[in-house]
A and B are shown apart, each in its own frame.
Chain A
Amino acid sequence: DAGVIQSPRHEVTEMGQEVTLRCKPISGHDYLFWYRQTMMRGLELLIYFNNNVPIDDSGMPEDRFSAKMPNASFSTLKIQPSEPRDSAVYFCASSSTGREEKLFFGSGTQLSVL
């Protein structure tokens, strides 16, 4: 299995531009999580999906952030418009059903908003 695949690995954009981050979870996993990592806040849970349905988006910082999961093998996190304070590493993770399941993380997308 290739693991969780994220793209792009690095994204540099200018303030005000739209940014779309992509994630392909591990096949068969039915939970998908989006995390943001910064030095100030550590790893923050933004949103998670179960069977493609958003369950909890209370961690999404503002309406500028949106996430979708159109099918079991693909999810996007979109920021529109982007701001410099959105600069961070964004991780996608997936896990299989169950309360005692570890997360498998992708390599992350390093986002820099200038």
Chain B
Amino acid sequence: GESVGLHLPTLSVQEGDNSIINCAYSNSASDYFIWYKQESGKGPQFIIDIRSNMDKRQGQRVTVLLNKTVKHLSLQIAATQPGDSAVYFCAENYASGGSYIPTFGRGTSLIVHP
């Protein structure tokens, strides 16, 4: 029979534009957050992280913003390039039985048009 899959949220941008990918996390006790990039046929790769005692962190062409009040994360990519096309996941780490468990969001597909 036919299988129905959920479509990922998709963001389409032109090369050179800035991209903003949003993520809502679920656990108010989470204190460490990570953005991963997953290219087709590969595993997720670390992009940038942020601790809960910060509200902004910058990397090379990427910035992560954290709003703990509304449990929201965003990833900003400056001057988006075709190589940035991928699925982007946010992950939250929260305590569970003495360990810290990373839990992933659903992901957002970024498509960059040349």
Contact = CB atoms under 8 A, between A and B. Distances in A.
B32 A99 contact: yes
A38 B8 CA distance: 11
A30 to B, nearest CB: 11
Contacts of B100: 98-100
B34 interface: yes
A42 B107 contact: yes
B49 A40 contact: no
A56 B99 contact: yes
A64 to B, nearest CB: 20
B79 interface: no
A39 interface: yes
Contact of B101 (A4, A56, A106): A56
A104 B5 CA distance: 27
Residue from the set A39, A50, A93 with the largest chain B CB neighbour count within 10 Å = A39
A75 B37 CA distance: 25
A34 interface: no
Interface class of chain B by DSSP:
strand
B107 A50 contact: no
Contacts of A40: 3, 5-6
Interface residues of B, number: 30
B102 A107 contact: no
A56 to B, nearest CB: 7
Interface string A74-100: 000000000000000001010000111
Contact of A108 (B43, B45, B102): B43
Contact of B46 (A4, A45, A50, A102): A102
Interface string A1-33: 000100000000000000000000000000001
Contact of B5 (A39, A100, A107): A39
A106 B46 CA distance: 12
Interface of B: 3, 5-6, 31-32, 34, 36, 41-46, 49, 51, 89, 91, 93, 95-97, 99-107
